[in-house]
Amino acid sequence: MRAGLEIEAAVRSLETRGKERLAVRIGIATGLVVVGDLVGEGSAQEQAVVGETPNLAARLQVLAEPGQIVLAGATRRLIGDLFRLTDLGRQTVKGFSEPVEAFAVEAVAVTESRFEAAHRRITDLVGRAAESALLRDRLREAWAGAGQIVLLSGEAGIGKSPQLAAEVASEPHTRLRYQCSPYHRDSVLHPFVVALGRAARLAVEDPAETQLDKLEAILAPARIAENAPLFASLLSIPTGERYPPLSLSAAQQRRLTLAALLDRLEALARQKPVLVLFEDAHWADATSLEVLDLTVERIRALPVLALFTFRPEYEAPWTGLSHVTSIALDRFAPAEIETLAEHVAGRPLPLEVTAQIVAKTDGVPLFVEELTKAVLESGLLVAEPQGSRLDGPLPPFAIPATLQDSLTARLDRLAPVKEIAQIGAAIGREFSYPLLRAVAGRDEPALHAALAQLEEAELLFRSGAPPDARYTFKHALVQDTAYETCSGAAGRSCTGRSPMSYAASSRRSRRPSRNSSPTI
């Protein structure tokens, strides 16, 4: 989506010899695509892309006006409120028997966090009693003037995003929320730039003068003369005649900007307690991490609770300090999975359905939510006074579209060893080293290295040591995704290299036919 908006803007700004302006039309659809072998020759050579999704994108592109981006319904559901859209209604397009939903993109919406954009309905907090109690305790200390840092870590979808914080902070306070983004890891102070723009309510269409007025309004009056030009420069607002140009070296300007950010935090904390939420620090740019360093020191004697969230791949350097508390969120136990599934469904679910959800989601709350929603949308459940019953036998669930991407991304990050994961997935949730070696046909050092890497990435658990080792996929959904992504060369090696070995596989009877949708 962001690439689409940028392509559109780049093409619009191209100079041409003629009077006409150039414009592009863009169509975006979401779904499974098989990218296969190279076809064509020379400069016309490209990878064959097959599936309904590219066809739909091409048809939607035809519906777009010049300079417009049109999205499919499935894409719209995934992006939540991240973009402002106009509903174009159902459209009849060539090659599709039913009319398809279409939405035109207006602009990027200003939402506070990924979490709010994608989740409009927050279910009641399930479990996490110990974590909530610990947070409440730290909050009490912080509000009493002994600033506290809480490091909240856990894998994707485990529940780091702000429910815990929302629950604990009921007293009047100022809330500062910073959201890191995987698209802006190299953009200096990105979370702070966005948060300041939002706090000042800057609008793109405001003239520079108005933007400066708005910026000054959110700064401590005593420091406006020093800090406003620094923030203006950070937010790329021209200061015109209002302030003399900053004649500082890059290093000086950087140091003063960081100091100004900390000054603002302190000034706010002198008025009211402050809750700082810094989300997804694993994506933070280096300078933002430096602000966190300074924050950890500065708040020791201020009524500030700062909550930094991140995935386990990030190693926070602040552990061990007396005012720093680490909380690692664990997966849900089966009873909690059931409760969450029931909350999402709004009623008790048939035992068979709950059992599948427990088995497939491995206690990751995000998976529980998405899989439960997928079951509800499948129309298989019939409401009854005390709950619901199944209308017919339960077929294997499809991997929800909302998860497909993140699961595939987990594997793609390990591109060089992905094939080993795929071969393992074709064998089953669990496989032995000798069987994998027989099917993969690799030399042992390469195989050892690949397995070690998959283990380190926590995609696989190992018991025993090769040659007697057994491996288990940590997530059933990761195994399914690895299996479903077998295509082309990798596909042949996952499924076709050794019929003898393959006959021993437990997955054989579950192989989907060529045309079926992905199943789990």
Ligand X SMILES: Nc1ncnc2c1ncn2[C@@H]1O[C@H](COP(=O)(O)OP(=O)(O)OP(=O)(O)O)[C@@H](O)[C@H]1O
Binding partner of residue 311 among ligand X, Mg ion, none, CB cut-off 5 to 8 Å per kind = ligand X
Token representation of residue 69: 């981006």
Query: In angstroms, how far is CA 40 from the centroid of its own chain?
Result: 36
Token representation of residue 20: 């006409």
Residue among 311, 347, 497, 507 that touches ligand X (CB under 6 A): 311
Q: Which residue number is nearest to ligand X in terms of Cβ?
A: 159
Minimum distance, C-beta of residue 85 to Mg ion, in the bound complex (Å): 23
Size of the site for Mg ion (CB under 5 A): 1
316 binds ligand X per the rule CB under 6 A: no
328 binds ligand X per the rule CB under 6 A: no
Cα dihedral value 476, 478, 483, 488, nearest 10: 180
Binding partner of residue 156 among ligand X, Mg ion, none, CB cut-off 5 to 8 Å per kind = ligand X
Please say which residue, 127 or 273, places its beta carbon nearer to ligand X.
127
Minimum distance, C-beta of residue 309 to Mg ion, in the bound complex (Å): 6
Pairwise CA distance, residues 327 & 324, whole Å = 10
340 binds ligand X per the rule CB under 6 A: yes
Binding partner of residue 122 among Mg ion, ligand X, none, CB cut-off 5 to 8 Å per kind = ligand X
Please say which residue, 201 or 413, places its beta carbon nearer to Mg ion.
413
For ligand X, which stretch binds (CB under 6 A), given 70-78, 121-129, 254-262, 297-305?
A: 121-129
156 binds ligand X per the rule CB under 6 A: yes
180 binds ligand X per the rule CB under 6 A: no
Minimum distance, C-beta of residue 189 to ligand X, in the bound complex (Å): 20
Minimum distance, C-beta of residue 115 to ligand X, in the bound complex (Å): 5
Pairwise CA distance, residues 299 & 148, whole Å = 7
**Cβ contacts of 68 within 8 Å, gap of 6 or more:** 8, 25, 26, 104, 105
For ligand X, which stretch binds (CB under 6 A), given 61-69, 96-104, 125-133, 238-246?
A: 125-133
Residue type, 156: A
> Which runs of E-coded beta strand occur in 290-386?
304-310, 324-328, 381-384
Pairwise CA distance, residues 447 & 461, whole Å = 15
Residue among 76, 160, 173, 323 that touches ligand X (CB under 6 A): 160
Residue among 79, 158, 281, 358 that touches ligand X (CB under 6 A): 158
Cα distances (angstroms) measured from residue 325 to each of 59, 138, 307, 318, 329: 53, 8, 10, 9, 13
**Interactions with Mg ion, residue window 487-506 (CB under 5 A):** none
Please say which residue, 152 or 260, places its beta carbon nearer to Mg ion.
152
DSSP per-residue codes, 402-440: HHHHHHHHHHHTTHHHHHHHHHHHHH-SEEEHHHHHHHH
Please say which residue, 180 or 450, places its beta carbon nearer to Mg ion.
180
Pairwise CA distance, residues 330 & 332, whole Å = 7
403 binds ligand X per the rule CB under 6 A: no
Pairwise CA distance, residues 408 & 156, whole Å = 13
Q: Which residue number is nearest to Mg ion in terms of Cβ?
A: 161
115 binds ligand X per the rule CB under 6 A: yes
Token representation of residue 242: 């209002």
For ligand X, which stretch binds (CB under 6 A), given 37-45, 84-92, 122-130, 142-150?
A: 122-130
Size of the site for ligand X (CB under 6 A): 21
Residue among 161, 257, 325, 404 that touches Mg ion (CB under 5 A): 161
Please say which residue, 126 or 407, places its beta carbon nearer to ligand X.
126
Length of the chain: 520
154 binds ligand X per the rule CB under 6 A: yes
Token representation of residue 416: 């060089």
**Cβ contacts of 420 within 8 Å, gap of 6 or more:** 436, 440, 442, 447, 450, 451, 454
Instruction: Give the number of other Cβ atoms within 10 Å of residue 504's Cβ.
Output: 15
Contact in structure between 192 and 290 (CB atoms under 8 Å): no
Please say which residue, 307 or 381, places its beta carbon nearer to Mg ion.
307
365 binds ligand X per the rule CB under 6 A: yes
366 binds ligand X per the rule CB under 6 A: yes
Please say which residue, 373 or 442, places its beta carbon nearer to ligand X.
373
Residue among 28, 59, 70, 128 that touches ligand X (CB under 6 A): 128
Minimum distance, C-beta of residue 154 to ligand X, in the bound complex (Å): 5
Pairwise CA distance, residues 52 & 57, whole Å = 9
Cα dihedral value 219, 221, 222, 228, nearest 10: 40
Q: Which residues pair with 462 in a beta bridge?
A: 471
Tokens 């499809």 sit at which residue?
398
284 binds ligand X per the rule CB under 6 A: no
Residue among 4, 27, 147, 159 that touches ligand X (CB under 6 A): 159
Pairwise CA distance, residues 59 & 298, whole Å = 56
161 binds ligand X per the rule CB under 6 A: yes
Minimum distance, C-beta of residue 19 to ligand X, in the bound complex (Å): 48
Contact in structure between 420 and 454 (CB atoms under 8 Å): yes
3-state SS class at 104: strand
Pairwise CA distance, residues 6 & 295, whole Å = 34
163 binds Mg ion per the rule CB under 5 A: no
402 binds Mg ion per the rule CB under 5 A: no
Minimum distance, C-beta of residue 432 to ligand X, in the bound complex (Å): 32
Residues at the interface with Mg ion (CB under 5 A): 161
Residues at the interface with ligand X (CB under 6 A): 115, 119, 122-123, 125-128, 154, 156-161, 280, 311, 340, 365-366, 369
